Structure 1
Amino acid sequence: MPDTPWWNARRHADRRPLLMARNRIQAALRGWFAAEGFTEVDPAALQVSPGNEAHLHAFACDAIGNDGTARRMFLHTSPEFAMKKLLAAGETRIHAFAHVWRNRERGPRHSPEFTMLEWYRSGEDYSVLMQDCAALLRLAAEAAGAALLRHGEATCDPFAAPERLSVAEAFARHAGIDLLATLAPDGTPDRDALAAQVAAAGLRVDAGDTWSDLLSAVLVRRVEPHLGHGRATVLDRYPAHEAALARRCPDDARVAERFELYACGVELANGFGELTDPAEQRRRFEAEMDEKARVYGERYPLDEDFLAALAQMPPASGIALGFDRLVMLATGAPRIDDVLWAPVG
């Protein structure tokens, strides 16, 4: 019944087993976080800045004051800024099931409004988050009564230890590209060096493509389809140029403490060893907004309170996981709308 509204009683009856599995998964994950000593928090969605990544698009609104004056605000694309302020305030282990909004995103795995599971560990290395991810995959499968995670014909064993693979290793394995050779010792990218390798790998290169555009093209077309099959993949050590919120790896300034979790070829989570230098963070945000202005003709304001709080924030690791996607894989649902209680029309 693809054209039948979600609130049709027959369609709802078909969807209800998936929604009940969603509830069981959420309860299981909440129990796990409680047992691990986490505090659940509820960050406000309305923010002065929705986030400052060039290719994330927000929903804007006007907040009308008592005097009738309008103030431009945004629905957050992530609860990150608010949660890091809580770390600065003294919280040490926190998590949230937060509704977030992202514009220009709609499809089988994308909804304009979705649930993000985000958590932070103060004073702990980002590799601990990888262990957390493995535990949550197991819990989700158990709660759904699934032996395997599924998406289309792809399967992933949630009980197997994930593979940990650097971005450079993945590019070499699946595209024959030496990614680190296109980065200067300080992480500055060499667009032409990457373009030559991408062209040699048989992918199209346009004159206007930036280094980041080329990286993304290889990742999407040659790398991601191979990740998370059989067992989950932790794609680690992203180029520092592609990790605006992460600190650099201590052994190689070209790469950063950033990883993504994949299962069944689907990206599930994005984790970081968090950057806590406000001056460096400001520089990166401004560069991201310059790129956004160049590509899309708009920019978002910086959250000055966030940058001030960053100076007080302790070393920490943090991660955001697409909860609805996890439910999709645990239940085998083909579309994200199948596992949302009330999908956006």
Structure 2
Amino acid sequence: MAQRAAFWAPETFAARRPRLRARARIVKALRGWFESEGFVEIEPSALQVSPGNETHIAGFATRFEPLGAPPATYYLHSSPEFDCKKLLAAGETKIFSLAHVFRNGERTRLHHPEFTMLEWYRAEAPYRALIDDCAAVLAVAAEAAEAREFSYRDSSLDPRAAPEILPVTEAFSRYAGVDLPALLGDSDALAREAARLGLRVSADDHWSDLFSKIVSDRIEPKLGHGRATVLIDYPASEAALARRKPDDPRFAERFELYGCGVELANAFGELTDPIEQRRRFEADMAERARIYGSAYPIDENFLDALAVMPPASGCALGFDRLVMLASGAAHIEDVLWAPAAAP
């Protein structure tokens, strides 16, 4: 990554300042919208016993050295999800958080090792209810930023238009010519399809790896042009913390929100079965160990909370990316008040 000028350099800051002011207005407006909808803002702890247990998300570890006691390892959270669900178990029913979160190894135009996650949960609500929330968030952000349209690179969308709702299976058929339901769990068949599409296929690629390659190369770039797209109902294997769909358990209650080809949000009908969640965590950590040579501990307290957590749906939205689109920024660091110093 090319070296960028210091964020505080007056000429650099002057160019970024209008977008940062828009960011501040969007923060204020979204807080107002969530409060008007009856949500309570919560404050998660950044220090956790686990950074999360998704295969490809790397955490930052830190050493805690209490006086007179053995040292312990904590991790900076990669999402406020675990604390949010613990608070749902405690009795909260509509909560949101604007939290700084941390992911190791990520620094691109769309990634920063420390970024802001807007996350919210509705107890006893179906996951499709969050599509309306996402549409409202886009419209509120546009109003606060005084933006007629959202844009990124050569794409634009109307943030006040109703999102397109596109099932994952239809997206594979439309944009990749792949009959996904016929290939669920069949790594060899999906590898042949990926090779047909001209994608690089490795001998050790698992089904999930191939699925991700096709999504990244053939589907994501086509989403969210003209209006936002909700890519909905993922294969169950691609939704680690989501419930399976009761009418078709091959798929899960998960959707992602896209704008201008950029992933903005990830939403679930939340899994509340601690036994199934443990199985998924253990499988993902075994896969992480296979690929990266390391794994993370499981938060046993989180699994205990799942056992008493009510049915709920939740959404995690990359707030900085939202500001990027609302302000027309080309780089995530153009909308961060104080980006981390380059190594």
Query: Contact conserved, 1:212 with 1:242, CA < 8 A, in 2?
Result: yes
Counterparts of 1:273-284 in structure 2, within 5 Å, are: 273-284=269-280
Residue of structure 2 in register with 1:64 after alignment: 65
Residue aligned with 1:42, SS: coil
CA drift of 1:161 comes to: 0.6
Output aligned runs, 1:192-211, within 5 Å: 192-211=188-207
Code of the residue aligned with 2:316 in structure 1: it is A
Task: Give the aligned partner of residue 75 of structure 2.
Answer: 74
1:1-345 alignment to 2 at 5 Å? 3-67=4-68, 69-183=70-184, 189-345=185-341
Quick check: 29-38 or 195-204, which moved more? 195-204
Q: What CA deviation, in whole Å up to 9, does each residue of 1:146-197 have, x standing for no partner?
A: 11100011001111110001111100000000111112xxxxx111121122
When normalised by structure 1's length, the TM-score is: 0.97
Amino acid at match of 1:123: E
Give the Cα separation in 1 of the matches to 2:60 and 2:179.
38
- The alpha carbon displacement at 1:198 in A equals 2.1
> In the TM superposition, what whole-angstrom CA distance separates every residue of 1:78-118 from its partner, at most 9, and x where no partner exists?
01001100000000000000000000100111000000000
For 1:232 and 1:4, how far apart are their aligned partners in 2?
Answer: 33
2:61 maps to a residue whose letter is: A
Aligned partners of 1:16 and 1:239: how far apart in 2?
42
Separation in structure 1 between the aligned mates of residue 177 and residue 33 of structure 2, nearest angstrom: 40
Structure 2 distance, partners of 1:206, 1:296, is 16
Count of residue pairs brought into register by the alignment: 340
Displacement of 1:253 after TM fit?
Answer: 1.0
Tell me the secondary structure at the aligned position of residue 64 of structure 2. Answer: strand
Distance 2:336 2:66 in 1: 33
The 1-side partners of 2:68 and 2:38 are apart by 44
Alignment gaps of 5+ in structure 2: none
Cα RMSD, aligned residues only: 1.1
Percent identity reads 62
Q: Secondary structure at the match of 1:230?
A: coil
2:231 partner SS: strand
Change (3 A) 1:54 1:3: closer
Structure 2: which amino acid aligns with 1:138?
A
Which stretch of the first structure deviates more once superposed, 205-214 or 27-36?
A: 205-214
CA separation in 2, counterparts of 1:198 and 1:323? Answer: 32
Shift of 1:69: 2.2
User: CA offset at residue 68 of structure 1?
Assistant: 5.1
State the SS of the aligned residue for 1:342.
Answer: coil
Q: TM-score, normalised by structure 2?
A: 0.97
User: 1: distance between equivalents of 2:198 and 2:11?
Assistant: 48
Measured after TM superposition, the shift of residue 205 of structure 1 is 2.2
Q: Where does residue 186 of structure 1 map in the other structure?
A: none
For the 8 Å contact 1:177–1:198, the answer to whether it is kept is: no
Question: In 1, distance between residues paired with 2:282 and 2:48?
Answer: 18
Q: Which is further off, 192-201 or 237-246?
A: 192-201
1:176–1:201 Cα contact (<8 Å) kept: no
1:232–1:261 contact (8 Å) kept in structure 2: yes
CA distance in 2, matches of 1:177, 1:14: 45
- Mean Cα deviation higher: 227-236 or 9-18: 9-18
